[in-house]
Amino acid sequence: MSKTESINIPLSQLVVGLTVKLPLSWFNNPFFRNKVPVNSQAEIELINSLDITYVTVIDGMHLLANDEEIEDVVVEDAVPEFDIQGAIKKSVHSSQQRFNKAASDLRPAFSKVVSDPQLSYRESASVVEQLMTHLLESKQPEIVFVTSVDKEPSLTQHSVSVAVLSMMMANSLGLSHSELRDLALGCVFHDIGKLKIPDAIRRKRKDLTTVEINYMKTHPNLGYEMLDRSGLFPAPMLDIVLHHHECLDGSGYPNKLNEVKIPKLTQIAALANDYAGLLLKTGSPQVALGTLFKTRVGKHGKDLIQVLVKVLGIYPPGSIVKLSDGSIAKVMMTSRDSKQPHVYSCNDRGSQAVFRCLTDEDVSVVETVKADSLSEKIVSTLQVQSPVCFYPSHIIE
């Protein structure tokens, strides 16, 4: 047998230094990668604890015994190799469809909030249940880049994205399903009061005047009044609508509340909404995250900001990055390794675009890249200018 060929060996012949493939599907693979470098005795013990009898050696065969001593395992029903690239693509596309549906399903809830509050409540509760189902269908949900066909997200798209960020944070904190529902409901309606603001102000591209800014700042009160009069919506959700612009240091609005008077769910929603706003202004998920640390000290709890970073990763979905192999990529989906997210990459000429699982290739992110430094071809291939929104997902097998 040539030492350059792959070979199946029993677990008893595992040694540190080998690189192996496990005969397991993606979901049953604790390493979450096809190629597994065996770096320690602890990893050998972990592999031995799995429900398998052999592994396939793909590198490091010189570490094995002599040819005549190697026991080549004959495998009758090998598990077909998992198509991780196809799975990432499927997950991203599925998340985009789900995001579009949730935003679309919110429209009747928004339009009927005054004329038919019961219908509005039913429609919004249905959207919340969709979000709950999609968040909880995996024990370890990831967050995915989704987008809008417009230059910026619509009101309902923004609401869904903020709800997703908030729910991911709350889920990471171990909050109850009841709290998740109240949080999601508050987030999907948090900006409903903006419907009472004239379009000439709400959609204005230029800087608002002081009078217009003060008018915009009435939207939490307007939204609260619209929802409270029906008596249908829970108090925690109404608090989010009224106080999602409050800050822990008392500098927020409309009531300049301090930390002790702002419930935890409202604090979570306020942080998610602030991040989404910064993202819209900067156009960069990572720059927006950095701005939170630099300019929002004292306005949000450090513990919650750390949770947000945990959820988004250091290279949040939507970030444009350079990889260690020289490729340029858009981060599409978080992974367990924040430096090796799932990406959509192309070469430096903007061609050969493909979805990639970096952990499976031992490739990592080197740095973020500014959009204005890229060629038109790369900008087009990676759709660099697309608005960034978020949705929960997982690798679909």
pLDDT of residue 253: 97
DSSP 95-118: HHHHHHHHHHHHHHHHHTTTT-HH
| 349, pLDDT greater than 60 | yes
* 145 and 332 Cβ atoms separated by less than 8 Å: yes
Which fold is adopted by the domain 94-312?
Answer: Hypothetical protein af1432 (1.10.3210)
Arithmetic mean of pLDDT, 122-129: 97
pLDDT of residue 168: 98
pLDDT of residue 3: 46
Name the percent of the chain lying above pLDDT 90. Answer: 73
Handedness of CA 133, 130, 305, 176 (dihedral sign): negative
Residue 13: closest CA among 53, 40, 42, 51: 53
Arithmetic mean of pLDDT, 377-386: 96
Q: How far apart are CA 315 and CA 287, in angstroms?
A: 10
Give phi and psi for 260, each to the nearest 5. Answer: -70, -20
**Of the given ranges (64-73, 250-259, 333-342), which has the lowest mean pLDDT?**
64-73
pLDDT of residue 267: 99
| 26, pLDDT greater than 80 | no
Arithmetic mean of pLDDT, 204-217: 93
Q: What is the 3-state secondary structure (H, E, C) of the chain?
A: CCCCCCEEEEHHHCCCCCEEECCCCHHHCCCCCCEEECCCHHHHHHHHCCCCCEEEEEECHHHCCCHHHCCCCCCCCCCCCCCHHHHHHHHHHHHHHHHHHHHHHHHHHHHCCCCCHHHHHHHHHHHHHHHHHHHHCCCCCEEEEECCCCCCCCHHHHHHHHHHHHHHHHHHCCCCHHHHHHHHHHHHCCCHHHHHCCHHHHCCCCCCCHHHHHHHCCHHHHHHHHHHCCCCCCHHHHHHHHHCCCCCECCCCCCCCEHHHCCHHHHHHHHHHHHHHHHHHHCCHHHHHHHHHHHCECCECHHHHHHHHHHHCCCCCCCEEEECCCCEEEEEECCCCCCCCEEEEECCCCCCCEEEEHHHHCCCEEEECCHHHCCHHHHHHCCCCCCCEEEEECCCC
pLDDT of residue 100: 97
pLDDT of residue 397: 59
Q: How far apart are CA 12 and CA 36, in angstroms?
A: 17
State the average pLDDT for the chain. Answer: 91
pLDDT of residue 156: 97
Arithmetic mean of pLDDT, 361-387: 94
Paired strand residues for 21: 35, 56
Beta-strand runs (E) in the chain: 7-10, 19-21, 35-37, 54-59, 142-146, 320-323, 328-333, 342-346, 354-357, 365-368, 389-393
The model's pLDDT over 220-243, given as tens digits with 9 standing for 90+, comes to 999 999 999 999 999 999 999 999
pTM for the predicted model, two decimal places = 0.84
Residue 56: closest CA among 30, 74, 39: 74
Strand, coil or helix: what is 390? strand
pLDDT of residue 24: 78
* 132 and 372 Cβ atoms separated by less than 8 Å: no
Strand, coil or helix: what is 92? helix
| 215, pLDDT greater than 80 | yes
The model's pLDDT over 50-98, given as tens digits with 9 standing for 90+, comes to 888 888 898 888 888 665 455 555 555 555 667 888 889 999 999 999 9
Of residues 307 and 45, the one with the higher pLDDT is 307
pLDDT of residue 32: 66
Residue 2 — very low, low, confident or very high, per pLDDT cuts 50/70/90? Answer: very low
| 163, pLDDT greater than 60 | yes
The model's pLDDT over 256-313, given as tens digits with 9 standing for 90+, comes to 999 999 999 999 999 999 999 999 999 999 999 999 989 998 999 999 999 999 999 9
Domain segments of the chain: what residues?
7-69, 94-312, 320-390
* 219 and 194 Cβ atoms separated by less than 8 Å: yes
pLDDT of residue 68: 47
Radius of gyration, CA atoms only, the chain? 24
Arithmetic mean of pLDDT, 319-324: 97
Name the percent of the chain lying above pLDDT 70. Answer: 92
* 105 and 130 Cβ atoms separated by less than 8 Å: yes
pLDDT of residue 1: 45
| 27, pLDDT greater than 80 | no
**Of the given ranges (1-5, 80-84, 250-254, 378-382), which has the lowest mean pLDDT?**
1-5
Residue 367: half-sphere exposure toward Cβ, Cα within 13 Å = 4
| 167, pLDDT greater than 70 | yes
